[in-house]
C-alpha cells in the first residue's frame, strides 16, 4: 500500500503561504522533513490552512522527492499536523484563524500546541521554584505612567518586547542617559531618553528625546493596541560588547520523552539590541565561546546548569499548557556569570546547528519530530500523546 493511501502514515506540516516557489515558508526545512519522512516511512505533506477545501475535505499540498523535486497534489486532509504557522500581525491571524479552527473541529490531531506568547509563558513558569532565580521581573505594559515607574525602579534602563513577537521584531531598549552639554561644565548637562530597537520589519533604529513625556508618548504610539511585556535591561554582552544569548533546542524523541538536541551561542552585531540570527547575528559552538568569555571551569558549570534548567522547562510548561513537540529556550548570561531565562519558543528554528557545524544536532533537529510523529501513528493516533 502506498503511503498516500495509508492516512495513518501521513504527517501534514502547516506553513504560511508565500509568493515564492514553492509557495510556502521554510521551504528548506520542509524539504529536509520530507526526506527524513521517506527515510522513516512517513509521508510528509506541506500545506497552508487556506488551501483546505471544506466541501471535499481535501487540501492542496506539496511533498519533496529526490530527483523529482517538489510535487503538488490534492490529498485528504492529514489526520496529524505539525503546526509551523507564524503570525506576522493580527490581520494575518484573523485571515487563517477560520481555517485552523475548522481543522481542529474535524478532530485533526496536533503534534504540539503552539505557545501563545511571552506573558503566558512567564505566568506558567513563575511558580516553578527551581526556576525563580533565573527569571527576570516581567510585567505587562499598562500605559505611560506604569512604564515611567518601571524605568525609575530599574535605574533608568528597561527592555520592552511584544507578547506575541518573534525574531527580535519590535523590541525596545529604553535608557535614561545623562548628556553633557558641549563646552559646558559636567553639572550643566541634561538628561535625555534614548530608545534603541527594531521595527516591525526588523530594521534597527535609534531615537533620542529631550523630554521623558515625549519618549513615553512615542512608545505608546509604537505599541498601540498590542500586548507588550517589560523587563529590567540585563547586560548580556561579550567582552567586546556584542549582545549574545544561548539557544537550547529541546525535542521529544520517538518515545515521547524530552531530550536536548543541542545548544549554541548566538552573537549579535556590535551595538545591536538583540542577538537573533534574523537581525544579523550568527551562531558559534557554546563551550569554547563560554570558556573564552569566562574560564573553562566556569564554562563547564554554566553548561551543566543550562542543561538542568532546560530539562525542567518543557515539562513545567506542558503541565499547564498542554502538549508540546519541541521548544527553543533562550538564556542570557550576564557579566557575573549568572544565567537568566529570556524566552521559550514552541516553533523554533534550527539554523544555529548548521552555522556551528554541529551536523549531528542539525540532523536530529529534523528527524526527531518525524520519529515522534511516527510513534503517535503507530499507536493509531490515540487521543492522549505523551
**DSSP 8-state class, residue 24:** B
d(CA 259, CA 291) in angstroms, rounded, equals: 24
Half-sphere exposure of residue 309, counting CA atoms within 13 Å on the CB side?
A: 29
Interval 9-26: pLDDT, tens: 999 999 999 998 999 999
d(CA 207, CA 229) in angstroms, rounded, equals: 20
Instruction: Please count the helices (runs of H) and the strands (runs of E) in the chain.
Output: 9, 18
Classify strands 58-65 and 258-267 as parallel, antiparallel or unpaired. unpaired
Interval 242-284: pLDDT, tens: 999 999 999 999 999 999 999 999 999 887 777 777 667 899 9
Predicted TM-score (pTM) of the model is 0.92
In 297-338, which ranges are E strands?
A: 326-333
Cα 161–167–171 angle (5° rounding)?
A: 25
Classify strands 69-76 and 58-65 as parallel, antiparallel or unpaired. antiparallel
Residue 1 has pLDDT above 50, yes or no: no
d(CA 233, CA 150) in angstroms, rounded, equals: 11
**DSSP 8-state class, residue 17:** B
Cα 353–357–363 angle (5° rounding)?
A: 55
Give residue 384's pLDDT: 44
**DSSP 8-state class, residue 113:** P
DSSP 3-state of 13: strand
DSSP result, 142-203: --HHHHHHHHHHTTTEEEEEETT--TTTT-EEEEEEEEPPTTS-GGG-EEEEEEEEE-TT--
In contact, 100 and 49? CB cutoff 8 Å: yes
Q: Is the peptide bond before 22 cis (omega within 30 degrees of 0)?
A: yes
Interval 122-180: pLDDT, tens: 999 999 999 999 999 999 999 999 999 999 999 999 999 999 877 778 899 999 998 77
DSSP result, 199-242: -TT--EEEEEESSHHHHHHHHHHHHTTS-EEEEEPP--B-TTS-
Give residue 181's pLDDT: 65
Mean pLDDT of the chain: 91
Residue 90 has pLDDT above 80, yes or no: no
Neighbour count for residue 164 (Cβ, 10 Å): 20
- Bridge partners (DSSP) of residue 328 are 249, 345
Interval 303-339: pLDDT, tens: 999 999 999 999 999 999 999 999 999 999 999 999 9
Per-residue cell: 110 = 496536533
CA max distance for the chain: 85
pLDDT band at 184 (very low <50, low <70, confident <90, very high): low
Interval 358-381: pLDDT, tens: 999 999 999 999 999 999 998 765
Cβ contacts of 88 within 8 Å, gap of 6 or more: none
Interval 188-218: pLDDT, tens: 678 899 999 988 888 889 999 999 999 999 9
Amino acid at each position: 500500500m502506498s503511503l498516500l493511501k495509508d492516512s495513518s502514515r501521513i504527517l501534514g506540516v502547516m506553513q504560511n503561504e508565500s509568493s515564492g516557489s514553492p509557495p510556502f515558508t521554510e521551504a528548506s526545512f520542509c524539504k529536509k522533513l520530507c526526506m527524513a519522512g521517506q527515510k522513516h516511512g512517513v509521508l510528509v505533506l506541506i500545506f497552508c490552512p487556506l488551501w483546505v477545501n471544506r466541501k471535499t475535505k481535501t487540501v492542496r499540498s506539496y511533498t519533496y522527492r529526490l530527483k523529482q523535486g517538489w510535487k503538488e497534489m490534492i490529498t485528504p486532509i492529514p489526520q496529524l499536523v505539525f503546526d509551523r504557522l507564524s503570525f506576522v500581525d493580527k490581520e494575518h491571524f484573523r485571515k487563517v484563524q477560520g481555517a485552523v479552527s475548522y481543522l481542529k473541529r474535524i478532530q485533526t490531531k496536533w503534534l504540539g500546541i503552539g505557545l501563545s506568547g511571552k506573558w503566558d509563558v512567564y505566568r506558567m513558569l513563575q511558580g516553578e521554584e527551581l526556576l525563580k532565580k533565573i527569571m527576570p521581573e516581567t510585567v505587562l505594559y499598562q500605559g505611560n505612567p506604569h512604564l515611567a515607574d518601571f524605568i525609575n525602579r530599574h535605574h533608568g534602563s528597561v527592555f520592552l518586547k511584544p507578547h506575541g513577537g518573534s525574531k527580535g521584531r519590535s523590541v525596545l531598549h529604553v535608557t535614561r542617559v545623562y548628556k553633557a552639554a558641549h563646552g559646558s561644565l559636567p553639572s550643566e548637562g541634561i538628561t535625555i531618553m534614548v530608545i534603541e530597537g527594531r521595527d516591525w520589519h526588523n530594521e534597527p533604529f535609534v531615537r533620542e528625546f529631550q523630554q521623558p513625556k515625549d519618549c513615553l508618548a512615542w512608545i505608546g504610539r509604537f505599541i498601540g493596541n498590542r500586548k507588550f511585556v517589560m523587563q529590567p535591561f540585563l547586560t548580556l554582552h561579550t567582552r567586546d560588547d556584542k549582545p549574545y544569548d544561548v539557544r537550547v533546542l529541546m525535542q521529544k524523541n520517538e518515545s515521547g520523552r524530552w531530550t536536548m538536541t543541542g545548544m549554541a551561542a548566538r552573537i549579535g552585531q556590535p551595538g545591536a539590541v538583540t542577538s537573533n540570527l534574523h537581525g544579523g547575528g550568527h551562531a558559534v559552538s557554546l563551550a569554547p565561546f563560554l570558556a573564552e568569555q569566562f574560564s573553562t571551569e566556569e564554562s563547564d558549570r554554566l553548561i551543566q546548569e543550562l542543561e538542568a534548567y532546560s530539562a525542567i522547562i518543557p515539562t513545567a510548561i506542558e503541565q499547564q499548557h498542554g502538549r508540546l513537540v519541541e521548544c527553543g529556550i533562550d538564556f542570557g548570561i550576564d557579566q557575573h556569570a549568572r544565567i537568566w531565562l529570556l524566552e521559550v519558543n514552541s516553533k523554533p528554528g534550527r539554523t544555529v546547528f548548521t552555522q556551528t557545524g554541529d551536523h549531528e544536532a542539525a540532523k536530529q533537529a529534523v528527524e526527531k519530530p518525524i520519529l515522534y510523529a511516527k510513534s503517535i501513528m503507530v499507536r493509531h493516533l490515540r487521543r492522549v500523546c505523551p
